[in-house]
C-alpha cells in the first residue's frame, strides 16, 4: 500500500515541477515608437494667415462677438472674456494640404496677471471667397508643432 501512495506523490511532484517556471525571464525590451517625418509646411499659407490670426486673437481674448464674427465661419466662438490680453502671435504652422480647409497651429503669447503665457492652439480654417476664416479653435499640448 505504501508503494501506490509513493507513486502518486511522485506524479504530483513531477506535475508541479512542470508547471513551475525554472527561471524568471527578463522583462522584454521597450519598443521604440515609430518615427514620423514632420509634415511639409505651407509657408505661403503661413504668411497669408499671419495678419488674419494677429487680428483674430485680440478679439478672441476680449470675447467680443461682433469682432469675432468678422474672423469666424460656422458656429460662434466664445472667446476668453477678457481674462487675458493679447501680446503677440509667436508662430503659425500650416501643413500642406487641401486648398479650401486646413488645420493650423498658432502659438500665442498672452499677458496675464504676473507675466506672460505662451499657449498653442489648433485652428480649423476654411477659405471662402479668397478669405480665410476660423471654423473652430482648441488648445493643444504640442508646444512645437513644426
Short-list 137, 146, 142, 132, CA closest to 50: 132
Phi-psi region of 46 (alpha: psi -120 to 50; beta: other; left: phi over 0): alpha
Q: Which has the closest alpha carbon to 92: 109, 72, 71, 107?
A: 107
Q: What is the pLDDT of residue 122?
A: 97
pLDDT tens across 56-73, in order? 999 999 998 999 999 999
In this prediction, residue 88 carries a pLDDT of 97
How much is the pLDDT for 144? 56
Q: How many CB atoms lie within 10 A of CB 94?
A: 25
Min mean pLDDT across 11-15, 16-20, 63-67, 83-87 is at 16-20
Task: Label residue 24 by pLDDT band (50, 70, 90).
Answer: low
pLDDT tens-digit readout, 79-93: 999 999 999 999 999
Give pLDDT tens digits for 89-142: 999 999 999 889 999 999 999 999 889 999 999 999 999 999 999 999 999 876
Contact 106, 50 (CB under 8 A): no
What is d(CA 92, CA 53) in angstroms, rounded to the nearest whole number?
Answer: 9
Amino acid at each position: 500500500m505504501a508503494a501506490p501512495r509513493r507513486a502518486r506523490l511522485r506524479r504530483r511532484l513531477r506535475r508541479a515541477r512542470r508547471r513551475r517556471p525554472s527561471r524568471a525571464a527578463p522583462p522584454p525590451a521597450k519598443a521604440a515608437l515609430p518615427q514620423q517625418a514632420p509634415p511639409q509646411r505651407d509657408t505661403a499659407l503661413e504668411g497669408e494667415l499671419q495678419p488674419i490670426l494677429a487680428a483674430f486673437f485680440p478679439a478672441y481674448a476680449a470675447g467680443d462677438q461682433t469682432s469675432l464674427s468678422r474672423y469666424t465661419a460656422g458656429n460662434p466662438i466664445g472667446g476668453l472674456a477678457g481674462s487675458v490680453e493679447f501680446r503677440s502671435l509667436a508662430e503659425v504652422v500650416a501643413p500642406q494640404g487641401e486648398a479650401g480647409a486646413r488645420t493650423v497651429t498658432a502659438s500665442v503669447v498672452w499677458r496675464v496677471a504676473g507675466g506672460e503665457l505662451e499657449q498653442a492652439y489648433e485652428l480649423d480654417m476654411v477659405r471662402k471667397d479668397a478669405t480665410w476664416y476660423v471654423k473652430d479653435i482648441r488648445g493643444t499640448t504640442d508646444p512645437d508643432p513644426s
